[in-house]
């Protein structure tokens, strides 16, 4: 009888632990073993495709790709919210309407520190948020998808910026 109770408890515990996995929850930051982490993979040009809020996933959204109302000129989405990492720890990019530049340090433990500067003249849309978020990034994940995806986490991993690799 004791053996049957023991096996019953083991089976119940296994079912409970297997049923509590977050792996399929798209609104949860991925774990290290779910990703391909390599310093070399971050090198290249990335395009922001989503601004994420992990505490309230209904707030996940596309970045602003609007019209520059002041000049009545349509801004091409391919020229906005870009981020490029170079081999020599330099980065560059574009917000909604301004250029970004800076430096970064990275390691194989998913830690990333970025110091981003640039112009901030007539910034529209999510440009200011983008600039501030990049300076708060402390962790990254590269998702092995086609194309590769880069997620930058900020605000104690409560928020993220999702990018796709362009080159």
Could you read off the pLDDT of 63-100 as tens digits, one per residue? 776 444 444 445 556 778 899 999 889 999 998 888 99
Residue 14: how many CA atoms within 13 Å on its side-chain side? Answer: 6
Which contiguous run of DSSP H or E holds residue 8? helix 2-19
Could you read off the pLDDT of 8-60 as tens digits, one per residue? 445 544 444 444 444 444 445 555 444 445 678 999 999 998 899 999 888 88
Name the pLDDT band for 154 (thresholds 50, 70, 90): very high
In angstroms, the CA 117 to CA 92 distance is: 9
101 by DSSP, 3-state: which?
strand
Give me 127's structure tokens.
């440009």
Could you read off the pLDDT of 92-149 as tens digits, one per residue? 999 888 899 999 998 878 899 999 998 878 777 787 888 899 999 999 999 888 889 9
16 by DSSP, 3-state: which?
helix
Domain range list for the chain: 34-165
Q: Model pTM greater than 0.85?
A: no
* The CATH fold of domain 34-165: Lipocalin (2.40.128)
């Amino acid at each position: 009888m004791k053996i049957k109770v023991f096996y019953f408890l083991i089976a119940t515990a296994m079912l409970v632990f297997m049923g509590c996995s977050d792996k399929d929850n798209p609104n949860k930051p991925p774990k290290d073993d779910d990703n391909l982490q390599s310093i070399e993979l971050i090198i290249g040009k990335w395009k922001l495709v989503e601004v994420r809020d992990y505490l309230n996933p209904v707030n996940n959204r596309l970045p602003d790709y609007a019209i520059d109302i002041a000049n009545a000129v349509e801004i091409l989405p391919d020229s906005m919210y870009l981020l490029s990492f170079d081999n020599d720890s330099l980065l560059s990019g574009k917000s909604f309407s301004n250029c970004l530049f800076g430096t970064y340090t990275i390691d194989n433990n998913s830690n990333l520190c970025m110091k981003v500067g640039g112009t901030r003249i007539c910034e529209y849309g999510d440009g200011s948020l983008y600039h501030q978020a990049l300076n708060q990034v402390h962790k990254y994940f590269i998702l092995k998808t086609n194309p590769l995806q880069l997620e930058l986490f900020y605000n104690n991993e409560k928020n993220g910026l999702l990018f796709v690799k362009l080159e």
